[in-house]
Each structure stands twice: as C-alpha cells, then as structure tokens.
Amino acid sequence: MPSPLPVSRLRLEFSPSVNARPCSSPLVFPTKGEKLFSEKGPSPRACRLPSRLAWCSIDWNQLSLLHPLGSGGFGSVYKAVYCGTTVAVKQVKKCSKNRLASRQSFWAELNVAHLHHNNVVHVIAASTCAPSSQDTLGTIIMEYVGNSTLHHVIYGTGCTTAERKDDGLGCGNAFLNLAQAVCYSCDIVAGLVFLHSQLIVHLDLKPANIFITEQNVCKIGDFGCSQKLEDTVLSGPQLCQQGGTYTHRAPELLKGEKITPKADIYSFAITLWQMVTQKEPYLGDHQYVLYSVVAYNLRPSLSDDVFKDSTIGQQLETTIESCWRADVAERPNAELLLHDLHSLSLKA
C-alpha cells in the first residue's frame, strides 16, 4: 500500500475565497445571473475553477449510477452518467476492514489527478464528501474505458459470446498473437514513460489493471497502490510499502528496499510473458513463490516454443529477460524499452 499520508490530506476543503458550489467537468463556476448547467452546456463566460482545485468537487445532482462493473476489498466500481457523459465511478467503502488502507488507496488513486495521456485512465473528479445516502469514504469519477481488460483478452474470461464476436478485441487467447502483444506492449510502456516522467510509480501493473478500449488501445488504470516519488534530494529515499500483486512484484520491493520506476519495468516483464504464453506466471504456494523469487531468482519459464519459433518470439524473450533482472540497474528504463518495442513493432 502507499505510505501513510499526513492528516491534512485526509480532507478536501476549498479555501474561503473560493465559491464552493458543486461543479463538474469541465469544472467551471457561472458568473452572476448564469446557470451552472444548461442543455447547451456551461456558459462560455463562466470562470474556470483554479486547476489545483478543479478535481475536488462533484455535482451529485448530475451523477447517476447505472450498474456495478466490479468490486474489491476497498469498494466498488460502477458504470454511471455524469453531466450526460458515460463514466466509471469508484466508491471507497466506509465499512472496510482496514479503513486506513482504504483511505490510502483513495488518495493513491489521485496521484494521476490532472494528468492526461492516451494510455492512462483519466480522473475527472473526486470528493471525500457525499450525500448521506452514500456510505463512502470517497468517490472518484473516471473516464469510462469499457469493462474489457488485458486479463480478459489473454485468458478469454469475462466476455460474452456476442462480445467475442463483435468487439474486435479478441476476448479469447486465440486472437492474441505476437504482433498484437507487441502493439499492446507499446501502449503500456508509453503509459509508463509518461507516469515515470511525472515521478509516479504504479506498483501494481498487471493484466487486470490494463483496460482495452473499443478502439483497441491499452490504458493503465487502478492506481490504488501507486506512489508519487518526491525529490530524493529533499526527502531522501522512499522505501516500499507492502501491497500490489505478489506474482508481479519486483524482488527489491519484496525485500523492503526503496522504490524506483524499475519496479514497474519488472511487472511489465511478467505481464508481457503472460501475453506471449497465455499462461499463469506461477503455480504453487504463495510463500514459496515469494521466497524463491528473492532467494533463487525464480521467474516464469521461457522454455515455451512460442519464444523459439520466430524472430519476434526470440526478441521478446530477450526483452523479458532484461526487464525482470534481479539487479535493478540492469533493467532498461521505460524510454529505452519503448524505443526497442517500437522497433520490434515494425517487424511484427
């Protein structure tokens, strides 16, 4: 989980000088005599809310939940309509067994607030306030990218027969060939290049957290384990916290060492291995796997024929090996990795 946050960040409050009327994306306040919303949208003369506060308010009258998309230990995600636009809404439960962890997860999701990139799920608005009828610690409104993930595509789960036929994504593993795996990899690593440039480390990169849009574009989502790395000159090295998915967690993090962007590169290597082999990375006891990854450099097997039968397969094997090396310094950074993947995509 992300490191504990100061108490001052556990409330969202506007400064007294700001008109704290509910607002929504594009988050504007009306001038005197104007309505906030109309059939034609916000008035062109409306004053934009300061960007540092723009994501802190939700107009609850404009939000309508449609149906659940999924749920987890900290809350649920719904398909919804916000100001006439289809969105996804994550609500963090108050009744979670670990309320502090729930709060930390909520704030970690907001590490990507304000950020825009084609391969990262966009946060539209967020609030720790909610109508009394909603028993939540916090609510986050995000762009709706569908309910298809890379996990569905790899393992052929979560899609109906009609969706497999019509969505063009290939929700069964027979459709995920090496060329498509390289294409998806370019999207994922492009997202990592952007996140790392913003000093954000995802720390839970895996197929289930990579969404695939109707346009067949991968977007990285679910930032509940992410951390924003501060300037180490001022704050010192940032040590890792427990969290994330053990099969994809870099060995240095399992040992409690400091976080670097290379932890995401390791997770990407496991994810790419899954795309190529369409298998689960490890079988067996959880604790045995953790111990073996750290003590014996255990990794998923690269003996699959798919790595030997083509030039692309052989190059992907080399890429995977370089990305999951135990020595952090020997792994490529996201920029170099993206360059290599782009070169490979031209051959695929």
pLDDT digits (tens, 9 = 90+) for 276-310: 999 999 998 999 999 999 999 999 999 999 999 99
Strands 136-143 and 218-220 turn out to be unpaired
The token duo for 100 is 């502090």
Are 331 and 266 within 8 A, CB to CB?
Answer: yes
CA dihedral 176, 178, 179, 182 (to 10 degrees): 100
CA dihedral 58, 63, 69, 70 (to 10 degrees): 40
Strand segments, DSSP code E, in 94-213 are 123-127, 136-143, 200-201, 210-212
Each of the 348 residues of the chain gets a pLDDT tens digit; together they read 444 333 333 333 322 222 333 333 333 333 333 332 323 333 333 334 344 444 567 888 899 999 999 887 678 899 999 999 999 999 987 766 677 888 888 899 999 998 999 999 999 999 988 777 777 888 999 999 998 999 999 998 755 333 333 344 444 444 689 999 999 999 999 999 999 999 999 999 999 999 999 999 999 999 999 999 974 434 555 555 556 799 999 999 999 999 999 999 999 999 999 999 999 999 989 999 999 999 999 999 999 999 999 999 999 999 999 999 999 999 999 999 999 999 999 887
Residue 165 annotated as binding site: no
pTM: 0.79
Angle between helices 334-345 and 311-323 (to 10 degrees): 170
* Per-residue pLDDT tens over the stretch 321-345: 999 999 999 999 999 999 999 999 9
Q: At 225, which amino acid appears?
A: C
- 55 CB-near residues (< 8 Å, 6+ apart): 27, 110, 113, 114, 123, 124, 125, 126
> 327 catalytic, yes or no?
no
Query: Measured between alpha carbons, how far is 127 from 59 in angstroms, rounded to an integer?
Result: 10
Ordered alpha helix ranges (H), 198-330: 232-235, 251-254, 262-277, 286-295, 311-323
Residue 321 Ramachandran class (φ > 0 left, ψ -120 to 50 alpha, else beta)? alpha
pLDDT at 57: 75
* Residue of 187, 204, 222, 264 marked catalytic: 204
* Short-list 104, 108, 133, CA closest to 123: 108
